[in-house]
């Protein structure tokens, strides 16, 4: 068939060539995205269900490119990791999130943590900790209002990551383990890394009321977290039923569409102001 660019591929190879082209396009435009201010952060509330208040937010990156349109993070983060751009993008995300959180604090809004997703590749950078320290100094945000989320990954150098995480934790930053339960080595991560918080993956929360296996897993994770003195957040909570089961399991913190999708900063401000008034 003939491609928009004029190239012609043998039948059957087209999907592969198309995805290869897509990857090249993303990489090409990604290289200019920071300078052209194409990234934005949206924020999703983490809610304390005992008090019904927002205790923190997770920052999630959004990319809108003039040629490619909106590209979801699952499409460009892996590419940014492969071509090394993740260091630059990751630093932009941390700075932006800290700046924004400081802005809210300076406006007199209730203080809360901002969580930032770290890519495993960012641990290959031995300067990670001092860079984060510099961003905190620059923005004036106290370390206890920053949280870093890490995911499990077999290809992470355990010693390197453990050193970096210990340094970060010593600064007063909290470390959360994202997508807990989906990796190959969840439990050894708890042993090897200075983790403060578990985020139970949304796949365990889906249909919590109907799926007994999920309920058993969630119950067990919460009990384990209590024994290990870890905080727990349930992710991807969408329904009243899921929330109810979580409440029964003694889960205090939740995140998900039930309360709010990720939203722009102005919207977070509105929610915080409502909190203050109510
Ligand atoms: P994640 O860190 O596990 O983030 C949660 C994802 O679930 C987000 O997708 C969020 O929009 C979505 N979500 C939140 N609540 C619900 C819900 O109730 N139901 C459902 N079905 N989904 C919900 P998003 O924003 O597309 O991000 C996808 C992934 O991309 C993130 O997964 C994270 O791994 C990665 N990511 C996003 N932003 C960044 C970033 O700044 N840096 C890095 N390294 N990775 C990022
Ligand atoms: Ca996350
Ligand atoms: Ca997650
Ligand atoms: Ca995830």
The Å distance, Cα 50 to ligand 3 centre, comes to 22
pLDDT at residue number 5: 53
Q: Which of 90-94, 139-143, 269-273 has the lowest mean pLDDT?
A: 269-273
| CA nearest ligand 1 atom 8, residue | 60
Q: Decide if pLDDT at 91 tops 70.
A: yes
pLDDT at residue number 277: 57
* pLDDT tens per residue, range 137-176: 999 999 999 999 998 776 678 888 899 999 999 999 999 9
Determine the average pLDDT of the residues in 2-16: 66
Q: Decide if pLDDT at 89 tops 80.
A: yes
Question: According to the 3-state scheme, what is the secondary structure of 101-168?
Answer: HHHHHHCCCCCCEEEEECCHHHHHCCCHHHHHHHHHHHHCCCHHHEEEEECCCCCCCHHHHHHHHHHH
State whether residue 188 is helix, strand or coil.
Answer: helix
pLDDT at residue number 4: 55
Q: Is the dihedral of CA 125, 127, 128, 129 positive or negative?
A: positive
Structure token pair of residue 211: 């799926």
pLDDT at residue number 124: 81
Closest CA to 245 of 272, 177, 237: 237
Contact yes or no for 174/146 (Cβ under 8 A): yes
Q: Is the dihedral of CA 212, 218, 220, 222 positive or negative?
A: negative
Strands 53-65 and 39-48: antiparallel
Contact yes or no for 67/29 (Cβ under 8 A): yes
Length of the chain: 278
| CA nearest ligand 1 atom 45, residue | 117
In angstroms, how far is the first alpha carbon of the chain from the final one? 61
pLDDT at residue number 15: 79
Which is the closest atom of ligand 1 to the Cα of 86?
Answer: 44
Write down the mean pLDDT value for the chain.
Answer: 92
Helices H / strands E in the chain, number of each: 10, 9
The CA distance from 118 to 74, in Å, is 14
Q: Is the dihedral of CA 12, 13, 19, 21 positive or negative?
A: negative
State whether residue 89 is helix, strand or coil.
Answer: helix
Closest CA to 162 of 131, 193, 139: 193
Please state, for a pLDDT cut of 70, what percent of the chain lies above it: 95
* pLDDT tens per residue, range 182-230: 877 778 889 889 999 999 999 999 989 898 999 999 999 999 999 999 9
The Å distance, Cα 179 to ligand 4 centre, comes to 6
Determine the average pLDDT of the residues in 91-102: 98
The CA distance from 177 to 196, in Å, is 8
The Å distance, Cα 149 to ligand 2 centre, comes to 6
| CA nearest ligand 1 atom 23, residue | 236
Contact yes or no for 271/251 (Cβ under 8 A): no
| CA nearest ligand 1 atom 43, residue | 117
| CA nearest ligand 1 atom 27, residue | 73
CB atoms within 10 A of CB 181: 18
pLDDT at residue number 1: 46
Q: Which residue has the higher pLDDT, 134 or 209?
A: 134
**Which residues, judged by CB distance below 6 Å to any ligand atom, belong to the binding site of ligand 1?**
44, 60-61, 72-74, 77, 90, 93, 117, 119, 178-179, 202, 236-238, 256-257, 262
pLDDT at residue number 152: 77
């Amino acid at each position: 068939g003939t491609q928009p660019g004029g190239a012609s591929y043998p039948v059957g190879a087209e999907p592969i060539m198309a995805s290869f082209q897509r990857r090249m396009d993303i990489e090409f435009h990604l290289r200019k995205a920071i300078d052209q201010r194409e990234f934005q952060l949206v924020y999703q509330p983490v809610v304390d269900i005992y008090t019904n208040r927002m205790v923190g937010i997770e920052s999630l990156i959004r990319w809108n490119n003039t040629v490619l349109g909106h590209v979801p993070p699952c499409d460009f983060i892996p590419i940014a990791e492969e071509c090394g751009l993740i260091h630059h993008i990751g630093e932009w995300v941390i700075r932006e999130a800290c700046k924004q959180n400081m802005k809210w604090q300076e406006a007199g809004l209730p203080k809360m943590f901002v969580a930032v997703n770290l890519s495993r590749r960012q641990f290959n950078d031995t300067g990670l900790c001092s860079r984060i320290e510099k961003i905190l100094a620059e923005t004036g945000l106290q370390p206890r209002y920053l949280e870093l989320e890490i995911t499990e990954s077999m290809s992470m150098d355990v010693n390197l990551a453990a050193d970096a995480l210990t340094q970060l934790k010593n600064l007063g930053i909290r470390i959360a383990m994202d997508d807990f339960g989906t990796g190959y080595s969840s439990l050894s991560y708890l042993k090897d890394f200075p983790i403060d918080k578990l985020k139970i993956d949304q796949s365990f929360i889906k249909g919590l009321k109907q799926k007994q296996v999920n309920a058993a897993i969630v119950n067990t994770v919460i009990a384990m977290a209590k024994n290990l003195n870890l905080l727990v957040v349930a992710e991807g909570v969408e329904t009243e039923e899921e929330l109810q089961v979580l409440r029964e399991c003694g889960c205090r913190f939740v995140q998900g569409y039930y309360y709010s999708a990720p939203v722009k900063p102005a919207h977070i401000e509105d929610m915080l102001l409502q909190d203050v008034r109510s």
